[in-house]
Structure 1
Amino acid sequence: MGSKYRIVARVSLASIAAVLAIAPAVSQQSDPPIARYTMDAGTLSGMAAMAGGRGGGIGGIMSMMNGGGGSVAHELVLRLGSSRTPAGGDPDADHFMPQGARLGTSVPLTYRRTQGREGSAPQGELPRGRLLLFWGCGEHAPAGQPVILDFSRLARGEIPPDLYAQGLNLPSDWTVRPDNSTTYGDWPNSEDAQVVQGNASLLGQHRVASNYAPEISFNLAQDFMPALQPTGSDLASGAVAMRWNSIDVATGYYAWAVGAGGNERDMVWWTSASTQQFGGPFADWVSPASARRYIEAGTVMPPTQTSCTIPAEVREAAGEGMMSSLYAFGPEVDFAYPPRPEDSRTPWRPEWIARVRYRSMAMVIPGMEMPGMDGSDFDSADSSEPDEPAGLPRCRGGLRGIAERAAGLCS
């Protein structure tokens, strides 16, 4: 293991929320764990696989255009947070993988605070243009769409008060971050960013050893999810009929599409939600419990649904270069030590808790044939990506982040 980096931050209520997330319905006295570990496992297909498991880089897309590469890759996001400080020296942590993961004996969990990404965005010219928002499956967009937002007003923080009138206001899944951990490590990172091959497997024993948390060990019997294989066909109305294969372990589906249209200063954004919903956790991993709530709210499509039509008005506004993404949210596996007592009257004092979440994601240009969209393994592609602009802060979430990114004020 190479050199590691220390970050000391406050321990927030996230530790308690993490315990509650895997607690039974009956109230049980419990203490926050010393360590929280998350392992998010994804299957990538279409253009998302072209960067070799990094979600779609320029080099991989060019390889796809030339007929190279395959159609399936995998991604792993590992995060370790602890309430302890390192015992002797800098933080030192490794996740020891089963041989089938094809990542070597272990991968290092390290964290480096990136310089130049804190604070507010630098001053610059406010973006000009508009954001056109559509939602819902169907050949035609209902009356009242699109909602049109001005980029310059969004960048100034002027969000229309009724934009989130139908907001979910549902709690997000707990997560491990530097700001809610005394010591933190993650992978991939600047020291190790290996590509997770399409034929990799997670099945078997996993062990996380560090100098700032108890040893974590668990056995995974759930492997990566199957790949999504969406297809799109143009309808006479101008709409695009999307269809995809059913995945047995899927807990729900979500789709979105973006395009620039004929006006270089306009951006079109559509989601499959049946109500006016934008932003949120839907480009992330979503737990089965959250997926059920989102399905009830009409934001996520149920696991029995395998089609959704992108309205003709969206295709017309977005143009031929419209790109769409489809997500299949999957199962979750939870581990803890010591295990939670069956008797709810017995206090539970876990040393560590761990969560493994799964998803499958495909990115396609509707109407464009993708090489190898038959589910063949991805095992070779140019995974080079352009570096992010130096010195720019990370973009915030939501609509304001979109506007600031369009203006070049964040990365």
Structure 2
Amino acid sequence: MHVSFIATASTLALALSASLPAHAQAAPTELYIDVATHTMPGMPGMGAMGRLAGAMGGQRPAYGMTRHPGMPGRYMDVALHNRNAPGQSATQAVPKGLQLGTRIELLPRERSQGETGGSHDASGSLGLADGGSYRIRYFWGCGEQVRGRQPVEYSMTIRDGKPVQGGRAMAPRPVPEQAPDVGPQHVLWPNPGARRAVSDKASLVGSHQLEGDGLPGAMQFALGQADDFLPRLELDSSGSPGEGMTLEWTPVDGARGYFIHAMASQGDTIVMWSSSEDGYAGPELMDYLPESLLAQWTGKRTVLGADARSCRIPTEAFAGVDAAPMVQMIAYGSQRSIAEPRPADAGRDWSPAWTVRVRSKSTAMLVPGMAGATRDAAKPAARESARGLLRGLLGN
């Protein structure tokens, strides 16, 4: 299993992605809660092993891990922007089911000397040789055979660690950037003081309340089952790259649609495929989507509907590749906006003093060499493969 290839997929996703500016924010106090569930089918018990790996590596929960989860488990990011007291710490009372105690502390981010602030220009290493030229071959759609006009091909050269595309490169889908542009004005969880990761059985359901300098006195809200962590996305595969692969999954309660992206190498060629039925859709869709855009793309079959249960990767897509593709899949959950209730005696110029946005997703990744192991996860060979991958991720 080549860990560098996983890093390549993640950084290449950034290199090929495009986003729009964050939407305007009006309320004096805004709270953002993102939750994600991540699994790597075929790796039994990795929730506990992942926490052990983090402890062994000296790593603690960090803000931003919901966007691109690593080890299997549940993740939560909380960001508060209080314009009345920007950057001032706050306390959020949380329900018992979250298993993080009775409250969490929202604190400013401590930026390390080498931190880049989450740059999306792919200036870091892609895991590809600098100065090297690569050809991108892209396929799309579920089925036994590829449609006409496939694959689309273009070239990419790595210069000073940055990708330079040549030819008629595919344009990424315009996915609006909804995450807050975190800066000194925000306080966050997780933060340097957070020593506990989110449990695999954690739940957001219940009452939440924020307290702190400059916060509205009654910033209290309740979250229900529809706002909670999505269940695990149980993805399985059969077949082979040379003969075509069939992907199957159990329905995720609360999912509003699905999207799959796969990637493999063939010498100096990178082969990509997605489940989109209406042309190119890349790794930029492996993230939260606005509900309006999700509805639009489901209608156009860019995104698989909530009733989808399987997808066949055409034989031509990965025939002749050096290794099985890495497959990533996402189940899109709900997005909910909550605002301060309007008082009965409010005037015409009244506006809410606070808003809360909650969104969820569930993702899965089939690692090359482990696809198809889901049903046999309890077998010794599968367990040993999981341990080997864990050692690789830890660099041991």
Question: What TM-score do you get using the length of structure 1 for normalisation?
Answer: 0.68
- Among residues 212, 216, 223, which one is paired with 1:220 in the alignment? 223
Partner in structure 1 of residue 178 of structure 2? 174
Counterparts of residues 67-146 of structure 1 (less than 5 Å):
73-86=73-86, 91-110=88-107, 111-116=109-114, 117=116, 121=123, 125-142=130-147, 143-146=149-152
Gap change, CA 1:372 and 1:241, over 3 Å in 2: closer
Partner in structure 1 of residue 243 of structure 2? 238
Gap change, CA 1:237 and 1:130, over 3 Å in 2: closer
Deviation at residue 340 of structure 1 after TM alignment: 9.2
Counterparts of residues 7-406 of structure 1 (less than 5 Å):
14=22, 16=24, 18=25, 32-47=26-41, 52=47, 59=53, 73-86=73-86, 91-110=88-107, 111-116=109-114, 117=116, 121=123, 125-142=130-147, 143-152=149-158, 158-160=164-166, 162-164=168-170, 168-169=173-174, 172=176, 174-178=178-182, 183-192=185-194, 194-211=196-213, 213-214=215-216, 216-222=219-225, 223-234=228-239, 238-261=243-266, 263=267, 265-274=268-277, 275-280=279-284, 282-339=285-342, 346-365=348-367, 367-370=371-374
Question: What TM-score do you get using the length of structure 2 for normalisation?
Answer: 0.70
Gaps (5+ residues) in structure 2? 1-20, 55-70, 379-386
CA contact (8 A) 2:247 2:313 kept: yes
- Point out the structure with the larger strand share: 2
Identity of aligned residues (%): 23
Matched AA of 1:278:
G
Count matched residues: 334
Gap change, CA 1:148 and 1:193, over 3 Å in 2: farther
CA distance in 1, matches of 2:310, 2:292: 23
CA contact (8 A) 1:250 1:328 kept: yes
CA contact (8 A) 1:326 1:362 kept: yes
Gap change, CA 1:94 and 1:367, over 3 Å in 2: same
CA distance in 2, matches of 1:109, 1:45: 27
SS of residue matched to 1:368: coil
Deviation at residue 40 of structure 1 after TM alignment: 1.3
Gaps (5+ residues) in structure 1? 1-12, 19-31, 61-70, 375-380, 389-411
Matched AA of 1:112:
E
